[in-house]
Amino acid sequence: MPEAVTCPPPPGPASDDPPARSPWPRFALLVAILAAVTGSLLLWSPTALLDGGLSEGAPWYWRAPLFTAVYAVGTVAFFPRPALNAAAGLLLGVQQGLLLAVLGTTLGAAVAFGLARSLGRDALRRFLRGRMLLAMDRRFTDQGFRSILLLRLLPGLPFQAATYGAAVSGVRFPPFILATALGVVPVTAVYVAAAATAREPGSTGFLISAGLIGVIGVIGLVPVVRAAVRRRRAVQV
């Protein structure tokens, strides 16, 4: 009898799932973009452009969009927001300055959130360990609007740090951007009003604004003092 020919088993079905891509190239691109935007501040100053360039070199109907765009780029580039708010007050006054400063802040936060969410989240969430970090992530995911609103209302908390931290968490974009737009109004209004009334240092508006800025500064120092006291007690123990 002829020997039976043993056929090799048919190959298994090919997987349709694409191979997992490393998130680190995208994270490197995020770092490069932020470094380039921040480094560009060595060549131009947002406050100088807002104070003079927009009012002199652009038609009136372009000033509002250009102001908002410059403010947004300055926000992404880690430029101090109090300086941008002061430029808004000096250039545009209280009402228009506040409106455009809030729009610029919101636009800058949206751009920063989108960059961090699309390019950096997958890489950074691998370091999300520990009970406290997991609890914070769960709070941002379940109570996104309330959490972001509280962060925006707290003076002294770095604006960009809160933005990039929220992008890494599970908070959705609509509550993030709405809470940002509402939460930045009080502090922004104080700095804009102080700059707009700086030409009249004896006016009621300036005195109230300057006093509120002092209060904001004191409130911002409270966490720093508490952290220093805790470290000193830990060393003594």
Instruction: Please check whether residue 1 lies inside any domain of the structure.
Output: no
Helix, strand, or coil (residue 78): coil
pLDDT tens for the 237 residues of the chain, in order: 455 555 555 554 544 545 567 889 999 999 999 999 999 999 888 888 777 656 565 666 777 888 899 999 999 999 999 899 998 998 888 899 999 999 999 999 999 999 999 999 888 887 777 666 777 788 888 888 988 988 898 877 789 988 998 998 889 999 999 999 998 998 899 889 888 887 766 566 655 666 665 665 555 555 555 555 666 666 665
Containing structural domain, residue 165:
24-236
Domain count, the chain: 1
Instruction: Please check whether residue 4 lies inside any domain of the structure.
Output: no
Q: 159-168 and 81-115 are packed helices; what angle lies between their axes, rounded to 10 degrees? A: 10
Q: Which tokens belong to 31?
A: 């770092």
Residue 169 near residue 138, CB atoms below 8 Å: no
Instruction: Please check whether residue 18 lies inside any domain of the structure.
Output: no
- Please name the residues in contact with 137: beta carbons below 8 A apart, sequence gap of 6 or more: 128, 169, 170
Instruction: Please check whether residue 74 lies inside any domain of the structure.
Output: yes
Count the alpha carbons within 13 Å of 60 in the hemisphere toward its beta carbon. 1
Instruction: Please check whether residue 17 lies inside any domain of the structure.
Output: no
Count the alpha carbons within 13 Å of 164 in the hemisphere toward its beta carbon. 19
pLDDT, position 236: 63
Q: Which tokens belong to 169?
A: 């968490």
Instruction: Please check whether residue 122 lies inside any domain of the structure.
Output: yes
pLDDT, position 34: 94
Instruction: Please check whether residue 219 lies inside any domain of the structure.
Output: yes
Instruction: Please check whether residue 217 lies inside any domain of the structure.
Output: yes
Residue 9 CA: distances (Å) to CA of 4, 174, 187, 189: 15, 53, 71, 74
Q: Which residue has the tokens 């919101």?
A: 106
Q: Which residue has the tokens 């936060």?
A: 109
Count the alpha carbons within 13 Å of 71 in the hemisphere toward its beta carbon. 32
Write down the pTM of the prediction.
Answer: 0.78
